[in-house]
Amino acid sequence: MPVMEFDNSLTIGHELIDEHHKTLVAIINMLHDALIGGVEQKYLHYIFNEFNEYISYYFSEEEIIMCDAMFEMKDEHITEHGSFLGRLSKFSEEYLEKEDLISNRTIDWLVTWLTRHIFLMDTQHVVCLSEQPKGR
Ligand SMILES: [Fe+2]
């Protein structure tokens, strides 16, 4: 059973951003399945790195969309992306020293952060985009 469902409650109405969120949810579920399937930590780390790389790419795409739309809260939003990437990178560095760090707690952290970020931050700039005059 997936640890996170991409359903209507996570759909924000921007085709590209929704597709990115769907992919992030799929990677988190892959990590969860691998963890409960008892695979080696080395493989979990590989999936965790995939998540890390994909979310970095997604953040940069989203930031371009926000800047193009001149979203007024973009600085705050970009800061939140940066602080999450900093935590991911610190976590990855610690993993290299201690091999049992990827656990259900890690997955809970990713699920909670992504859900909260979509609800509280990503929905705001989609509202901003939908309020723009057509043709921009
Ligand atoms: Fe975002």
Domains of the chain: 8-130 (1.20.120.50)
Q: Under 8 Å CB-to-CB from 6, ≥6 apart: which residues?
A: 21, 22, 25, 26
Under a CB-based contact definition with an 8 Å cutoff, are residues 75 and 125 in contact? no
pLDDT in tens, 19-32: 999 999 999 999 99
Residue 55 Cα to ligand 1 middle (Å): 10
Residue 60 Cα to ligand 1 middle (Å): 9
Residue 37 Cα to ligand 1 middle (Å): 31
Largest CA distance in the chain: 52
* Residues flanking ion ligand 1, Cβ below 5 Å: 62, 122
Separation of alpha carbons 130 and 126, rounded Å: 6
Residue 45 Cα to ligand 1 middle (Å): 24
pLDDT in tens, 57-96: 999 999 998 877 777 888 999 999 999 999 999 888 887 6
